[in-house]
Amino acid sequence: MGSIEPYETASGRRYRVRYRRPDHRQAAKRGFRTKREAERYLISVESQMLTGDFIDPASSRVTVGELAPDWLDVKRMKLKPSSYRHLDDAWRVYVEPRWGAVQLGAITHSDVQKWITEVSAGTAHTVRRYHARTAQQGNRPKSATVVIRAYGVLAAVLDVAVRDRRIPRNPARGVDLPRKGKKRHVYLSHEEVDSLARAAAPEHATIVFVAGYTGLRWGELSALRVRDLDLERRRLSVNENAVRVGSELHVGSPKTHELRSVGFPNFLAEPLGELASGKEPRALLFGDGDDHIQRPRSSGASRSWFMRALTDAGLPRMTVHDLRHTAASLAIASGANVKAVQRMLGHASAAMTLDVYADLFDDDVDAVSAALDRARTTALVSKPRPEAPPGEV
């Protein structure tokens, strides 16, 4: 049981509540103006301890900046370097400047909502840790992806605080977030892929074809080794993924951590065989020796081989990753089912494939309705009509 005791201050009599926490250590809260207020507080504390809902007020005085490093360390161990960097950037650029020094118990739902609005508008205080050009863009509105990622970091750290019983609930949950608009995919036809490959330098033509007909991510394509090529079965084994994070190249497992085998059309057997000819099994299929080919830039006024090829072929501006979308489009148009496309692209599930490429299945909706109409007509025509009752004409 707790106790209540009065004490004198310059402003008059006040009351102090003493009680034992669940760990049996002594705790106290002072400053109550009336004994009734102190009694209500003591009853509330004892009730929370009986139900297991007690949270020590001292625990909520920990700041977000003190709790976040441990959460980031866990994410660093679990995520690939490229994915972790996005979280680390969001923390350092957007979350830490606003919330790093704020105590957990002082964060309110409305404060988080205001911050979301400021980040979206580009008016939130951020760390200028990039070059001058990026600093000039600091006050520009931020994309929904940037805002949602920054919010996700704060909300996840506060989730840890809830599980650690530092705060009773997460004040960040339930705020209104900007909607992410789906980027329109660029799909090339067979003729356009052929034109792009011809416009690319001879050493890049095969890369264009492989990306456009297998859907490999650039990191997977650039990490292919001679031993991953099976000319007899027309297969490419995807065992590695090479991603550049800043100036460092990280080679690891594919994005979904699942190894897979991807088929390629017969017309690619000859050029792929020529690339592999004379190389050791562990040598990179594309590139020279152990030097992975670099992803061609597609931003701004880039003059990469890929951008020059697009211009020469008279094709719209796109990224090399859009060739992955083209592969999905061509596969679906050829009659491949969703499960086959999922395995080809290395998606985690068929549901993800349907979500990403829902627009490619619009024709299926028409086909289903037409098939239902034919089935109904056939069923009604083949079913004999009932005979009229006697005496009726």
pLDDT tens for residues 149-201? 999 999 999 999 999 888 889 999 999 999 887 778 888 999 999 999 999 97
- Under 8 Å between Cβ of 144 and 181: yes
Of 22-36, 101-115, 234-248, highest mean pLDDT? 101-115
In the chain, DSSP finds a helix count (H) and a strand count (E) of: 16, 8
Q: For the chain, how many residues are written?
A: 393
- Alpha carbon 85 to its chain centroid, in Å, reads 12
CA distance 232 to 143: 47
CA distance 106 to 24: 26
Sheet holding 26-32, edge to edge: 3-9, 12-20, 26-32
pLDDT single digits (tens) 94-143: 999 999 999 999 999 999 999 999 999 988 877 755 444 444 445 688 88
The whole-model pTM stands at: 0.66
Share the mean pLDDT of the chain.
85
Band the pLDDT of 379: cuts 50, 70, 90. Answer: confident
Amino acid identity of residue 237, one-letter, is: S
- Token pair of 393 as six digits: 């004409």
| Residue 300, pLDDT score | 67
Is the confidence at residue 383, as pLDDT, over 80? no
Q: To which residue do tokens 């009659």 refer?
A: 335
DSSP-H helix ranges across 239-287: 269-276
Q: What are phi and psi of 7, to 5 degrees?
A: -150, 155
- Under 8 Å between Cβ of 197 and 210: no
Residue 31: half-sphere exposure toward Cβ, Cα within 13 Å: 2
- Token pair of 234 as six digits: 């027309």
Q: Compare 23 and 40 and report the one with higher pLDDT.
A: 40
Bridge partners (DSSP) of residue 8 are 13
How buried is 153 (Cβ within 10 angstroms: 0-12 exposed, 13-18 middle, 19+ buried)?
A: buried
| Residue 268, pLDDT score | 94
Amino acid identity of residue 142, one-letter, is: K
- Alpha carbon 344 to its chain centroid, in Å, reads 20
pLDDT single digits (tens) 39-76: 898 888 888 777 777 777 778 889 999 999 999 999 99
CA distance 232 to 157: 51
Mean pLDDT value of segment 200-218:
91
Mean pLDDT value of segment 299-308:
83
